[in-house]
């Protein structure tokens, strides 16, 4: 081979390399052109697989509001450590746009103690562009899913660490069932209004920052405990408090008991939890339809209970643990979040949510140095 011809070959080789490299690193165009919205309501039915919807409809004869929404695809739920995720890694993917090791909360799989850095979550990113932010759950406030949207720690069982981070997160509201180390004094010391009843919650006014510790069954249609809220009431009040003329808001709402009741194969309990979660969705939808600038994302972190249709045509549990099945991903308020019937990875749901709020690839996913 002559020298010029060798040089041409070498040049073409480098051109080819750079084309391959830019193809590998380029951000897909569709990721950058999401419908822009002011508000995002991110609703997570913990453990809610496709067949949880089928089983609930079959058993109760009721239709689901979430199934009336325009776009429906699926989320692929694997974590960095397993094809079957837990709620910590599942929540981290949905909150931070990165897959981590099962059990870890808001940290990288390569740095799971967070010694060097951690990924920012959607609440933090939304706050960074001036939005109000809230976290609402039927689980204890330090549960794996709410923790993924408000803390960074190596283990979901680090309750004290999670609660301490939540109390000084600066969020507008974090509400759920009680967590061991959260006290009224601790909340007040961090400038938060502590609320522990339905009437105290309803008395909150816009501009307040609050920490809610509610008791009884938050996931039922009616909380059997006196003066305590249920998920749809918490969702309605949270939206009322967060809705503002300025930069909008990001709210995460979790129906945690779809998972909890599925672990024990308690069909009635699961259905009750799913219907109340659906009622919370109806509440969010009513707001979004009037507002016109709100994106609603409905999905799950994973499926629990391996629900399948048996030979009698009945949907029933086949196990007491999580499965690796894809879960529903239902969208209102964006025509291009996903294509209809498209399946995307759990971490991509967070990234698309961020793009819909106008966060650029430089702003999310984002590594925060320790």
Site for Zn ion in 230-269 (CB under 5 A): 259
46/87 Cα distance (integer angstroms)? 8
Closest to Zn ion by CB, 259 vs 272, is 259
Pick 124 or 303: Cβ nearer Zn ion: 303
Angle between helices 267-291 and 50-60 (to 10 degrees): 100
Q: Does 139 bind Zn ion (CB under 5 A)?
A: no
Instruction: Give least dist CB 203 to Zn ion, A.
Output: 34
- Give least dist CB 47 to Zn ion, A: 5
Question: What is the pattern of x (binds Zn ion, CB under 5 A) and - over residues 23-62?
Answer: ----------------------------------------
- Give 256 or 296: the residue with its C-beta nearer to Zn ion: 256
- Give residues with Cβ within 8 angstroms of 209, minimum separation 6: 170, 171, 172, 173, 191, 192, 193
Q: How far is CA 77 from the centre of its chain?
A: 12
| Shortest Å, Cβ 87 to Zn ion | 5
Nearer to Zn ion (CB atom), residue 76 or residue 86? 86
Nearest residue to the partner Zn ion, using Cβ: 259
138 close to 177: Cβ distance less than 8 angstroms: yes
- In the complex, least distance from residue 24 CB atom to Zn ion, rounded to whole angstroms: 35
Considering the complex, what minimum distance in angstroms separates the CB of residue 316 from Zn ion? 18
Nearer to Zn ion, 76 or 259 (CB): 259
**How many residues of this chain bind Zn ion (CB under 5 A)?**
1
By beta-carbon proximity to Zn ion, the closer residue of 259 and 278 is 259
Least distance from C-beta 74 to Zn ion, angstroms?
Answer: 19
Closer to Zn ion by Cβ: residue 145 or 179: 145
Q: 79, 102 in Cβ contact below 8 A?
A: yes
Closest approach of Zn ion to the CB of residue 100, in Å: 16
The C-alpha atoms of residue 123 and residue 250 are separated, in whole angstroms, by 7
CB of 281 to Zn ion, least distance (A): 20
For Zn ion, the closer CB: 48 or 234 = 48
Site string for Zn ion, 267-306 (x = CB under 5 A): ----------------------------------------
Structure tokens at 281: 């969705």
| Cβ at position 105, least distance to Zn ion in Å | 15
* For Zn ion, the closer CB: 87 or 166: 87
Binding residues vs Zn ion (CB under 5 A): 259
């Amino acid at each position: 081979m002559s020298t010029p011809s060798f040089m041409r070959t070498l040049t073409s080789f480098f051109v080819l390399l750079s084309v391959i490299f830019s193809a590998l690193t380029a951000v897909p165009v569709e990721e950058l052109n999401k419908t822009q919205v002011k508000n995002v309501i991110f609703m997570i039915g913990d453990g809610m697989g496709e067949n949880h919807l089928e089983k609930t409809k079959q058993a109760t004869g009721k239709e689901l509001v979430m199934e009336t929404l325009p776009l429906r695809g699926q989320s692929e739920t694997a974590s960095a450590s397993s094809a079957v995720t837990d709620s910590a890694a599942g929540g981290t993917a949905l909150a931070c746009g990165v897959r981590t090791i099962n059990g870890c909360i808001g940290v990288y799989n390569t740095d799971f103690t967070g010694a060097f850095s951690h990924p920012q979550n959607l609440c933090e990113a939304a706050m960074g562009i001036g939005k109000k932010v809230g976290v609402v759950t039927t689980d204890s406030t330090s549960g794996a899913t709410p923790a993924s949207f408000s803390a960074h720690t190596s283990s979901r069982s680090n309750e004290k660490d999670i609660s301490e981070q939540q109390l000084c997160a600066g969020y507008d509201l974090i509400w759920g069932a009680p967590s061991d180390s959260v006290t009224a004094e601790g909340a007040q010391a961090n400038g938060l209004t502590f609320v522990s009843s339905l009437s105290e919650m309803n008395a909150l006014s816009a501009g307040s920052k609050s920490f809610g510790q509610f008791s009884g069954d938050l996931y039922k249609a009616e909380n059997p405990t006196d003066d305590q809220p249920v998920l749809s009431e918490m969702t309605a009040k949270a939206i009322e408090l967060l809705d503002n003329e300025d930069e909008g808001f990001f709210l995460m709402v979790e129906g945690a008991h779809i998972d909890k009741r599925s672990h024990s194969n308690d069909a009635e309990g699961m259905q009750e939890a799913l219907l109340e979660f659906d009622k919370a969705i109806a509440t969010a939808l009513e707001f979004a339809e009037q507002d016109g600038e709100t994106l609603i994302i409905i999905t799950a972190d994973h499926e629990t209970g391996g629900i399948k249709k048996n030979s009698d045509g009945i949907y029933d549990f086949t196990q007491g643990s999580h499965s690796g099945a894809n879960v529903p991903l239902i969208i209102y308020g964006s025509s291009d979040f996903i294509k209809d019937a498209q399946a995307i990875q759990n971490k991509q749901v967070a990234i698309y949510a961020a793009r819909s709020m106008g966060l650029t690839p430089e702003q999310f996913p984002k590594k925060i140095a320790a």
